[in-house]
Each structure stands twice: as C-alpha cells, then as structure tokens.
Amino acid sequence: MGIVIGLVVALAAMLGGFTAMGGHLAVLVQPFEYVIILGTSLGTFIIGNSAKTIKDTGKAMGEAIKNKVPKQSEYLEVLGLLHNLMREMRSKSRSEVEAHIDDPKESTIFQAYPNIIKNTAMLNFICDYARLIIIGNARPHEIEALMEEEIQTIHHDLLKAKHALQDVTDGLPAIGIVAAVLGVIKAMGALDQPPEVLGHLIGAALVGTFAGIFFSYGVFGPIAAKIKYVREKQVRVFVIVKSTLIAYMNGAMPQVALEYGRKVISAADRPTIDQVENETIGGGSGA
C-alpha cells in the first residue's frame, strides 16, 4: 500500500506542478515513447537474468507492494517451535527427536505451527541444524560458522531480484535518451514543416528523456529499495533461529535460549517476554 500511495503522491505533485506551470498533459501522452522505453528495458532484463530470477523478481515486487515482512505473530511462532524442539532434544532420546525432524509435516510439534511448515526454506533450515545438534559431534562454533555461511547464501539469493530490478533502474535514463534520440531523428525528417508541427515533434521526443528518468528514480528505483527492505526482514528470521540454537548448544536452558533469539528482533517488532512465555506454554497458535 505504501508503494501505491507514494506513486499517487509523486504523480500528483509532478503532473499538478506541470499543469500549474501552464503545461498541457496531452503532450505527455506519447505511447510509442513508453513502448520503446519499457519494452527495451524488459528485453534487457530478460537477457541479463535467468528464468528463475525473472520469476522471483515478479514475486518480490508483489511482496514489496504488499509489504510482506514477518509480523510479530510469525516471530512468536518460530520461537514457540524452537522452544518445543529444544525441550524435546533436552529430554527425549535421539531416535524420538529424529522422528520429528525427519518427517516434520507428520510431527505433532511442527503441526502446531502450520505457517512454518508452509515455509519450506525455514522448515529445512530448522530441521537440518536440529539434526546436526542431536548427532552431537559438531562444536557450537562450527555449527555457528555453517549457519552464518548458509544465511549469507540465503541473503544473496533473496536479493537477486533486487539487483536485477536495480540494473533495470540504472539503465532506464539511458534508454530514455535512446527514445528521445529516435524522436529527434523523426523530427529532423520534418524540418520543412511549420514551427508548430516541428515543436510538437521535438516536445514528443523529449518525453522519452522525461519518462526514462521518472521510471528510473520515481518507480523502479523505490520498488527495488522496498524489495531489499522486505527480503532483508525475511532473512532476519533465520538469524533468530541461529542465535537461539547456538545459545542452546552452549548450554542455555530452552527458555533462556529463546531470549537470545528474541533480542535479535528489531525493537519495533520484538515481542515481550510475557508474549514469548504465553506462546511457548500454549504450544503454538494453530493458525
């Protein structure tokens, strides 16, 4: 919603100011200039990225528009699951715990947190490191290093969409100039026409430069920045898991280990200790 409101405000200010100066909005209606700019940008985007990145960029733009960042309830679900899992690891045998992490979708522990089951990347991350912990051969600092390496990989993969869109953003002003040059070429072929006609053609050509810059800094640039914000928030959940499990490996009680994870959450979204206790005692929201 923030992106939509921002675009409305930007367009209202820009077009309103242009009209107030005595400009005519009809001059800006140059569909073929927009076809050249956006079509060329789309083509270069397809050339420079894999099919997977192209698809993920569409998904990332949707997440940015919806501001799909983790909410406090999602943080509580992750902490609740980790608490129950750590209690099992602390009190049950290795074979009993393995039954949960080998088939989490059938596990009574994981079934209490359906949103995590739907998040395949998070589910695999938790199960993989829980498995390494119960094996018992790895040292905490080794697991932590491995977790950090994987989180960096996840972070890199999630930001591919941002970088792909940023490349489009960076190229749009130049493509706008290309569209303007083509418009000027067209105008040069009409030098024998009256000044009004020639002026209209030159004005239409300059719309290309305007459109390229506006689409770059007014549309795709801000969306790329929002994608980065949303995706980095999503990565933060993996850091919470890492901090909690490493604290547990270093000897912290499950409830104390949760504090290590809770403190990683930004202050604006961080649940209180009471909220975490209610979630862990309740055993999941079941939502």
Of 244, 249, 243, nearest to 280 by C-alpha is 244
Q: 162-198 burial by CB neighbour count: b if 16+ within 10 A, else e? A: bbbbbbbbebbbebbebbbeebbeebeeeeeeeeeee
Instruction: Report the pLDDT value the prediction gives residue 198, as an integer from 0 to 100.
Output: 84
Q: What is the pTM (predicted TM-score) of this model?
A: 0.87
Confidence category of residue 214, pLDDT binned at 50, 70, 90: very high
Instruction: Report the pLDDT value the prediction gives residue 286, as an integer from 0 to 100.
Output: 41
Q: Position of tokens 């089951």?
A: 117
Instruction: Report the pLDDT value the prediction gives residue 244, as an integer from 0 to 100.
Output: 96
pLDDT value at 282 more than 70:
no
